Amino acid sequence: MTGSASPLPLNLPGLDRRFSHTIAVPGRGLDEGVHRDWHYLDTGDELARLGVPVVGTILAVHGNPTWCYLWRDLVTRSVQAAQSGSPAWRVVAVDQVDMGFSERTGIHRPLAQRVVDLASFTDTLSLTGPVVTLGHDWGGVVSLGWAVDRPAQLVGVMLLNTAIHHPEGTPIPAPLRLASARGVLAASTVHTTAFIDTTLALASPALDSAVKDAYRAPYRSADRRKGIGGFVADIPADSQHQSFSELERIAAGVAELDVPALMLWGPRDPIFSDFYLDDLVERLPHADVHRFEGAGHLVAEDSPYADAVLAWLGDNIDRLTNPASTSPRASYALARSGVEDPLFTPLWHRLDERRDDDSTAVIDMSTRGRRSPRQVSWRQLSDRVDRIASGLTAIGVHKGQRVSLLIPPGPTLTAVVYACLRIGAVVVVADAGLGVKGLTRAVRGSWPDVVIAESPGLIAARTLGWPGVRISAARLSKIAAAALGVSHSLGDLVAIGADTLLPAPPLPDDEAAILFTSGSTGPAKGVVYRHRQLSALRDVLASHFDITADTGIVTGFAPFALLGPALGTRSITPEMDVSAPRTLTAAAVAAAVRDSRAGIVFLSPAAILNVVATAGDLTQQDLVELERVRTFLSTGAPISAELLASAGALMPNANPHAPYGMTECLLVTDITLDGVRAAADDGDSGVCVGAPIGSNRVLISALDAEGRAAGAPSFQAGVLGEIVVSAPHLKDHYDRLWLTDRAAVRETGLDTDSPGERWHRTGDVGHLDHLGRLWVEGRLPHVIVTPTGPIAPVGAEQDVEQVSAVRRAAVVGVGPHGLRQAVAVVETVRPTKRPGLASPEVTAAVRASTTLPLVAVLAVPQLPTDIRHNSKIDRSRLSQWADCVLAGGKPTAP
């Protein structure tokens, strides 16, 4: 059945009917000589009524099987933004013909026709001003077709999950194969609501029933669903399809677009996966990209996309309103174009210097059938690095490509890392401690071109569908290699690259590595470092801790496990499961010190706990070996003076240090045990982590009454606020997390800022004291906003932990924001059997220990902590649990 546009139903949740319009559009192509009625949403009249000047138009195009209702939040939020004084963007959101409440034509409309249709619509609407396109699903393709054809009007493109290219010979996603199969297509898309229902079910969290009903409203009958079937039938599965050439034309045109671009992505999309995002990033390398972890195909429903769109438009207002003033592609290339720097020494510099040195560089403590640790000389390591680098080059790996490494620390991982760095490949390092789910997020999020792994990683890659050409660390049988999809082994690369010359080395400002955070405060984030920043980290380590060729380091902390060769000193990782630092024992540390004659020991807090707990297993000879250590570092999270002293006691000649840092900036401040003890006499609240080292700087952004870090960053002492840091080795950016990166960057406005100096909001709260030392008092999300102002938890937790019956404590807030009350949750020395209210005796002692008024004291068998950082208590989880318990809920374990 064909006919004019249908009237919009009443009471569609979230959609103001004032924005609903229809227009008769002269047909072109298949519709030549015929007018078609289009339904669309348009904020133009409302903006005119408000009397605000319009800077441009957002042309929003839905996909299949949605309609312009998809864009209702943007329609509403854009008007609200204009009312509040932000630049006003008119939003025009179309219902493509045969879809939504636009006319049903009864004609199959291939991709080329839909691009023509959209152009006819915008011409009829006299859309002449600057236009930013916005598309989702197949609306993304159609909007990009319009964008490619209208360069004079186009000033920017924005995309939600979509695809504009599919390699020939690769099957289209399984859900689409099923929907488009003969005998299934009509049944699933037209005769029934199966396709619509399946699409709506992809939302996470689930859509409200009224919202689902609104999406179904234009598609109540089979006649009104023919466009849905037509869209599915128009998916170009191969080069024989009638829309294949048009899709290829659009894809080629997109690669030439020189306008600002934004991509907002739902990684859980079973149709438009990160595979298609990676293709788009290659075509639009200058685009700002944000992956909303947890979001899927209906990313507009799963995430605050409208706020992101408006924020991006605001950030880019100059470039969008003055498009002739800049070339985004040229600006992107210039920002990332490296120049030779005679003062720069790359991370592999020491390997080149010591390539004829037969002394030990790396020691492998994993015996695996050997009676003694394997020692690799500088000559052997340098040769291995060159051979693997040549092999990678021979099989086509080149500068800028990403290589995910799933190999435990040791000589093999060290050689592969330096080989990748040498040819300019970007190493992707995600700790196995993230777990299968976290690793999958990390690998798929970074979308590597190559995965180099041992068998467990290869099995995971095959089973979970991780991207990338697979290379095995060890040689596999032909059957095993075929089963795991392995194309080469490292041994093969050494042979293949024998006659291949190494490429020119990367430049200082080329990307070098993506290191994933621990995931203890949300999904792990990929932190991008450039070669210059990694070299700066090496230099600050070497200088501050006086590391020389004779020092030797034991690295029980994964981020530093690979820096030995860069520092020019021998290195060793103790026998342990590096994905579970708590597996490290005191005896293993002693053995590593013995075999490496190391003077420095790096450990994480989680590892220290077990090292101290297993100290009773040390032999007299172990104790003698540990006397060799001159410097001991606890890195990864602040720890108490008591724990630092306990670990230091095992190394009596070592000076214990507790540096403060994070994956984004691995070393910020440092303090010794003596410094911690001296600081304790000053009576400040929190954990003192010392003063900035090298040229690092630390500022505090004061918290306001709502607990927000709203104050101008300053050096003022005694002010509670968010910790803001700057350093030469500060990360460059987060990978494909534009919003996260945007929120983490802070302008200080200080006259002392050097050109190009960057500042990072850490998310930690604390204060500076009168000597410029930093005191960490918790995380920003854990600040308790009370009626009298914000309170950080760590100081009160330290007070509570002085109670003899308390092993560990967490102070969290309960109640509504702004009116929250403090609750202490304790893990007692004598473990409680059932979680709930603490005993009267413990409660009285805890309340007496602190000046902070506590509305309750709760006891649990064990405080929930991050799997990799025993010292990082999950306060958010405890807060929710305490709220539930005090509201009368069943006191199950948090």
What whole-number distance in Å separates Cα of residue 452 and Cα of residue 468?
Answer: 9
Domain that holds residue 166: 19-170+243-330
DSSP 370: -
User: Of 781, 797, 821, which marks where a domain is finished?
Assistant: 781
Average pLDDT over residues 310-317: 96
Rg (CA), the chain: 30
Distance between CA atoms of residues 603 and 605, nearest Å: 7
Cβ atoms of 605 and 660 within 8 Å: the answer is: no
Instruction: Say whether pLDDT at 834 is over 60.
Output: yes
pLDDT higher than threshold 50 for residue 869: no
DSSP for 195-241, please give it: HHHHHHTT-SSPPPHHHHHHHHGGG-STGGGHHHHHHHHT---STTS
CA separation for the pair 766, 143 (Å, rounded): 48
So what's the pLDDT on residue 748? 76
Same domain flag for 158 and 305: yes
Q: For the CA atoms of 817, 818, 822, 823, what is the dihedral angle to 10 degrees?
A: -20
Q: What stretch of H or E contains 495?
A: helix 490-496
Residue 310 lies in a domain: yes
The predicted-structure confidence for 498-515, as pLDDT tens digits, reads as follows 889 999 999 999 999 999
On whether residue 177 sits in a domain, the answer given is no
Closest by Cα among 386, 391, 330, 381 to 360:
381
Q: How many whole angstroms separate alpha carbon 40 and alpha carbon 839? A: 64
For residues 491 and 557, state if they share a domain. Answer: no
- Residue 543: which of 551, 312, 48 has the closest Cα? 551
- Return the CATH number at 478: 3.40.50.12780
Q: Write out the two tokens for 221.
A: 């009958």
User: Are 620 and 716 part of one and the same domain?
Assistant: no
DSSP states along 235-260: ---STTSTTHHHHHHHHHHHTT--S-
CA distances from 820 to 784, 785, 809 (A): 6, 6, 19
CATH of the domain at 682: 2.30.38.10
Verify cis geometry, omega within 30 degrees of 0, for the bond prior to 65: yes
Position 311: which residue type? Answer: A
Co-location of 777 and 794 in the same domain: no
pLDDT in tens, 158-170: 999 999 998 776 7
Lowest mean pLDDT among 26-30, 174-178, 599-603, 775-779: 174-178
Q: How far apart are CA 574 and CA 498, in angstroms?
A: 33
690 occurs within a structural domain: yes
Query: Which range (150-159, 186-195, 553-562) has the least confidence?
Result: 553-562
Condensed to tens digits (0 to 9), the pLDDT of residues 66-114 reads 999 999 999 999 999 999 999 999 999 999 999 999 999 999 999 999 9
Shared-domain flag, residues 757 and 822:
no
Kindly state whether residues 588 and 652 are assigned to the same domain.
Answer: yes
- 515-528 burial code (b ≥16 CB/10 A, e <16): bbbbbbbebbbbbb
- Same domain? 451 vs 316: no
Model confidence over 618-650: pLDDT tens digits?
999 999 999 999 999 988 777 778 888 999 999
Domain end, chosen from 734, 755, 781, is at 781
Same domain, 112 and 166: yes
17: DSSP letter: G
pLDDT at 482: 95
Q: Which residue's structure tokens are 């930690």?
A: 764
Q: CA separation (Å) from 263 to 59, 173, 290, 699?
A: 15, 20, 6, 33
812's enclosing H/E stretch is strand 806-814
Tokens of 69: 């209702």
Same domain, 636 and 672: no
Average pLDDT rounded to a whole number, residues 850-863? 93
Residue 680: predicted pLDDT? 87
Strands in 279-430 per DSSP E: 288-291, 360-364, 374-377, 402-406, 426-429
Domain harbouring 118, CATH code: 3.40.50.1820
Beta carbons of 824 and 809 less than 8 angstroms apart: yes
- Domain for residue 183, yes or no? no
Number of domains in the chain: 5
Weakest mean pLDDT among 12-26, 421-435, 863-877: 863-877
Between 487 and 367, where is the model more confident?
Answer: 487
Q: Are 640 and 608 within 8 A, CB to CB?
A: no
CA-to-CA separations, 114 to 141, 233, 460, 498, 579, in angstroms, rounded: 10, 14, 41, 53, 51
Taking 50 as the threshold, does the pLDDT of residue 546 lie above it?
yes
Tens of pLDDT, residue by residue over 564-607, are 999 999 999 898 877 777 889 999 999 999 999 999 999 888 88
423 and 499 assigned to the same domain: yes
In degrees to the nearest 10, what's the CA dihedral of 484, 485, 487, 493? -40
Given this model, what pLDDT does residue 536 score?
A: 96
Residue 801 lies in a domain: yes
Nearest to 15 by CA among 63, 73, 62, 58: 73
Given a contact cutoff of 8 angstroms between Cβ atoms, the answer to whether 272 and 137 are in contact is: yes
45/155 same-domain check: yes
CA distances from 123 to 56, 127, 150, 384, 814 (A): 15, 6, 11, 63, 57
Instruction: Give the mean model confidence (pLDDT) for residues 843-871.
Output: 83
Which percentage of the chain shows pLDDT scores above 70?
96
d(C-alpha 593, C-alpha 600), whole Å? 9
**Which pLDDT band, with edges at 50, 70 and 90, does 490 fall under?**
very high
What is the SS3 string spanning 601-655? EEECHHHHHHHHHCHHHCCHHHHHHHCCCCEEEECCCCCCHHHHHHHHHCCCCCE
Average pLDDT over the chain reads 91
**Distance separating alpha carbons of residues 227 and 195, to the nearest angstrom:** 12
Residues 302 and 401 in one domain: no
Within a domain: residue 237?
no
Q: 385: which 2 tokens? A: 């690095």
Q: Of the residues 658, 681, 712, which one is the last residue of a structural domain?
A: 658
Which residue carries 């724990």 as its tokens? Answer: 643
Task: Give the 3-state secondary structure of residue 329.
Answer: helix
Cα separation, 847 vs 293, whole angstroms: 40
745 found inside a domain: yes
pLDDT in tens, 316-358: 999 999 887 789 998 888 877 767 788 899 999 999 999 999 9
Whether the model clears a pTM of 0.85, i.e. scores above it, the answer is yes
Q: Could you report the per-residue pLDDT of 111-137, keeping only the tens digit for each?
A: 999 999 999 999 999 998 899 999 999
Peptide bond before 205: cis, by omega within 30 degrees of 0? Answer: yes
What pLDDT does residue 870 have?
43
Residues in the chain: 894
Quickly list H helices, 316-374: 317-321, 328-336, 349-353
Q: Would 192 be classed as within a structural domain?
A: no
Categorize the per-residue pLDDT at 558 as very low, low, confident or very high, splitting at 50, 70 and 90: low
Q: 711-748 burial, b if ≥16 CB within 10 A, otherwise e?
A: bebbeeeeebbbbbbbbbbbbbbbbbbbbbbbebebeb
Is residue 175 scored above 80 in pLDDT?
Answer: no
Q: What is the dihedral of CA 339, 345, 346, 351, to 10 degrees?
A: 150
